[in-house]
Amino acid sequence: MRLRVELDGEPLAPGAAVGGRVVVEDGGRARSLSVRLAFVERTKDFHKVARAAGEQTVAEGDLADATVVPFVLTLPADAAPAVATAHARIGWELRARVDRLGPDAIADHPVELQRGYTAEDRERWPSG
């Protein structure tokens, strides 16, 4: 089974709706399909969810080839943009996961946030 995640309207602002679709490229037997929005620390051989923002089951039962399943989750109002180096990345990701007998099918997609200060930030840290 193969999945692909497509997002609408990046880069996104904190507090924005993260909408898109999961495309089932190769279908098969499944219990359910879920999507999760989380702030994830990731290196070549390690990943850890630092903060979960939401998860929803978007389909139940077997998934046919070329099935397209829409979803909408919401970023937290205080969501920070990603930070990436040559060896690691910490940032928001959307994960689609098919629960099935055997190894689950998973597709991860980074969520890009707008950079820069918000009006609220400028009030807290005025420039000199």
| pLDDT at 11 exceeding the cut of 80 | yes
Q: What SS3 state is found at 54? A: strand
| pLDDT at 69 exceeding the cut of 50 | yes
Contact 69, 21 (CB under 8 A): yes
What is the pLDDT, as a whole number, of residue 128? 42
Determine the Cα–Cα distance for residues 15 and 6; give it in Å rounded to an integer.
19
- Establish if 120 belongs to a structural domain: no
Q: Which domain holds residue 6?
A: 2-115
Which alpha helices (DSSP H) does 1-118 contain, by range?
none
Query: What CATH number did the domain enclosing 44 receive?
Result: 2.60.40.640
| pLDDT at 125 exceeding the cut of 80 | no
- Establish if 126 belongs to a structural domain: no
- Establish if 33 belongs to a structural domain: yes
- Establish if 14 belongs to a structural domain: yes
- Establish if 23 belongs to a structural domain: yes
**Strand blocks (E) in the chain:** 2-7, 17-26, 32-43, 46-60, 67-74, 83-84, 88-99, 105-110
The residue-averaged pLDDT of 6-31 equals 95
pLDDT digits (tens, 9 = 90+) for 106-117: 999 999 998 765
Could you give the number of structural domains in the chain?
Answer: 1
- Establish if 124 belongs to a structural domain: no
| pLDDT at 119 exceeding the cut of 80 | no
Q: What SS3 state is found at 29? A: coil
